[in-house]
């Protein structure tokens, strides 16, 4: 090989590296950097409660197109006096729910549009649960009540007034 092919080869490798970077970034999800840590915290909890509207729970827990044994949600739901439902999830179910929310909130292909699927409801739910998980700094005592998040518009209104 002659030495004159070296610059061409370097340019070719540079172009290929650039194309690979563009391809990889275009196909990756935009999961938050703390997502893996949140999954680990969630999986370590005994129980977690989500209080929300029936509609928001139904929308964000729908597994259409994302089913499979690794994402099954086994939950207990009860209606509360304030019009919300309380969903009880085990730690493993919470981790599965976060995976589902992450997919629907931060990436994943939408078969209809071939674009990013970003559900505002899932973003909201993910962010509220993430705030609770991020606040856990040590393993909860078994006697403590389960960590809890309330996700409804009244809660959002109260947060905005602070």
Element holding 13 (H helix, E strand): helix 5-27
| Of 49, 42, 47, 46, the residue nearest 149 (C-alpha) | 49
Section 6-11 average pLDDT: 65
Full DSSP string of 36-65: HHHHHHHHT-SEEEEEE-HHHHHHHH--TT
pTM comes to 0.72
Task: Indicate the pLDDT class of residue 160, thresholds 50, 70 and 90.
Answer: low
Q: What are 132-146's pLDDT values in tens digits?
A: 999 999 888 889 999
């Amino acid at each position: 090989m002659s030495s004159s092919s070296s610059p061409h080869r370097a340019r070719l490798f540079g172009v290929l590296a650039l194309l690979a970077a563009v391809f990889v970034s275009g196909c990756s999800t935009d999961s938050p950097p703390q997502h893996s840590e949140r999954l680990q915290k969630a999986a370590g909890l005994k129980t977690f409660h989500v209080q929300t509207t029936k509609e928001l729970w139904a929308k964000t827990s729908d597994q259409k197109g994302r089913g499979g044994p690794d994402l099954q949600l086994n939950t207990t739901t009860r209606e509360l006096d304030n019009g919300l439902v309380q969903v009880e999830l085990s730690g493993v179910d919470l981790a599965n729910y976060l995976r589902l929310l992450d997919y629907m909130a931060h990436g994943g292909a939408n078969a209809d549009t071939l674009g990013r699927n970003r559900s505002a409801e899932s973003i909201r739910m993910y962010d509220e649960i993430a705030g609770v998980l991020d606040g856990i700094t040590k393993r909860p005592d078994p006697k403590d009540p389960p960590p809890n998040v309330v996700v409804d518009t009244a809660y959002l209104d109260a947060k905005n007034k602070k």
